[in-house]
Amino acid sequence: MNTMFTRGPSLVSRLALALFVSVILIFIDHKYDGFASVKVYLNSIVSPLQYMASLPGQILNSSAERFTSHQKLLEDNRLLTLQSVSMNEKLQRFELLEKENQRLRLLLGSPIDAPTEKMVTELMAVDNNPFSLQIVIDKGAINGVYEGQTVLDNKGIVGQIMEVGTTNSRVLLLADISHAIPLRIARNNVRLVANGSGKIDELLLEHVAHSADIQVGDMLISSGLGDVFPEGYPTARITSIVQDESRPFAQVKATPIAQLDRLRHLLLLWPEDAPTRPIMQSSEEGQP
């Protein structure tokens, strides 16, 4: 049916209405964060689309796995065995050191580090929105994920949980322009704050005094201040320091230790004081 006269309100009034509603939505969402609870449901509703979108990648991966040669598997196996032996050796020493550390802390009357619970999760989707760096992981509210939770990969901190859906959740990466993380230099405990730059391999350290003792190559670890990230996880390494005396502060850049552009398996942390506890699914019971 090709009607010459459209039914309902005219096009212009429809546009005006749609734009008006959009602006109100943006305002409420951004200024007052008014949709936090609704977004859980919205994310769950659209999650089938995300599963569909990640399907081609999964098919490619599984067919690539099917066609890996025997040779390659043997090689991988050998490497992993070697790695596991050397890690186990380190772990033995680590356990000893941990016990010793706790004894010493007890003697000093300092609080003992509480154990953290962990869960392995997998990357589901990477956002193609060029203005923000976010990823979607395959664990959600049914696994006990909470907002603000720390996400790691095997090298260091990746970011924090931003939105929780029923079966998946959204992670804001360290390098996002709206993200900041309190850090300290592992060498001398100088405290810093690292802001994301919007580029995936760059963090900006702001308000660093010219006289601060920093060097290129310094390792930055999370300081635990601000009660979002737990203390002591490696986060970034300083790559450049520009000391322009005409500026009030030194311009320091760092690069995240976690490889944010090639994430695959991630780790979720539940410290002692987390608002929720992890809920393991039956198939993951065996995981550490």
Partner 1 sequence: MKLRRFVIALSIIIALVLQIVPMPLTVDQYRPDWVLLVLSYWTLALPNRVNVGVAFFVGLILDVLLGTSLGVHSFALCISIFVLAANYQRLRNYSIWQQAVIIGTLSSLYHLIIFWLQHLQTDVNFLFDYLWPVITTMMVWPWIFALLRKVRRQFRIT
List of residues contacting partner 1 (CB under 8 A): 1-3, 6, 11, 14-15, 18-19, 21-26, 28-30, 35, 39, 42-43, 45-46, 49-50, 52-54, 56-57, 125-132, 134, 162-163, 170, 177-178, 198, 200, 261
Least Å distance between CB 83 and partner 1? 27
The tokens for 257 are: 């230790």
CB-wise, 3 or 69, nearer to partner 1?
3
Dihedral, CA of residue 129, residue 135, residue 137 and residue 143, to nearest 10:
-100
Least Å distance between CB 135 and partner 1? 9
Least Å distance between CB 119 and partner 1? 22
The tokens for 47 are: 């999650």
The tokens for 188 are: 């001398």
Could you tell me which residues are beta bridge partners of residue 221? 184, 234
CB-wise, 59 or 97, nearer to partner 1?
59
Least Å distance between CB 276 and partner 1? 22
Least Å distance between CB 141 and partner 1? 16
C-alpha–C-alpha distance, residues 199 and 238, integer Å: 15
C-alpha–C-alpha distance, residues 123 and 13, integer Å: 43
CB-wise, 163 or 218, nearer to partner 1?
163
R_g of the chain computed on alpha carbons: 24
CB-wise, 22 or 81, nearer to partner 1?
22
C-alpha–C-alpha distance, residues 270 and 161, integer Å: 12
CB-wise, 168 or 223, nearer to partner 1?
168
Indicate the length of the chain as a whole number: 288
Q: How far does Cα 107 stand from its chain's mean position? A: 36
Least Å distance between CB 140 and partner 1? 14
Report whether 161 contacts 169 (CB < 8 A).
yes
C-alpha–C-alpha distance, residues 201 and 206, integer Å: 16
Report whether 197 contacts 206 (CB < 8 A).
no
Least Å distance between CB 246 and partner 1? 22
CB-wise, 47 or 143, nearer to partner 1?
47
CB-wise, 22 or 240, nearer to partner 1?
22
